Amino acid sequence: MQKLFVTFLGTGNLGRYADAVSSLLALCIGTAIVYTAGMQTLFMLTFVLSIIAVFESGKFIANGGESATVAIDKATGIWFAMMISLSVAPTLHLPYVQPLALLLTYLSFLGFEAKKPSTIGWMDRELKGGLGIVLADTVAGIASGVLAALILTLLAKLF
């Protein structure tokens, strides 16, 4: 059960496609949560899931699991990003703004996840165990949400 949770339903075992697939699955689940239960529910689930993910990822690695297969952090990271970009989207007068917000969130999250610039890379390298794994993707999620929101705002001003 722990491995299924930590690998985010096994998507962490997909090798070089793990980040893209786990992030896409998380985006789909997060979208379903937002449109059925609301943004507040996504916030609470993300908060609780992040705390659990820190401890479970740490235990998983301590018991010999590979950190490269941990994918639950992608879910928490992209959910943070979604909360930011989808909160800005309704204030903009763009056609199809919410699907565009989700697309920009996904692409920017993959970019931050792959490159791990600045503080994100430092957290990933220096903080050990589950805290480093989850915190790096949380910061990547926040950065990608802000970037997606900035791009959406720029597009709204241009059009």
Q: In the prediction, which pLDDT does 93 show?
A: 86
Rounded CA-CA distance 111/141 in Å is 10
On whether the pTM is more than 0.75, the answer is: yes
Rounded CA-CA distance 12/34 in Å is 24
Q: In the prediction, which pLDDT does 49 show?
A: 97
Q: In the prediction, which pLDDT does 94 show?
A: 87
The answer to whether the CB of 89 falls within 8 A of the CB of 101 is yes
Low-confidence ranges of the chain (pLDDT < 50): none
Q: In the prediction, which pLDDT does 128 show?
A: 87
What is the pLDDT of the chain when averaged over all its residues?
Answer: 95
Rounded CA-CA distance 73/89 in Å is 24
Q: In the prediction, which pLDDT does 119 show?
A: 92
CB atoms within 10 A of CB 55: 13
What are 34's two structure tokens? 């937002």
Q: In the prediction, which pLDDT does 138 show?
A: 96
Residue ranges covered by each domain of the chain: 2-158
Q: In the prediction, which pLDDT does 115 show?
A: 94
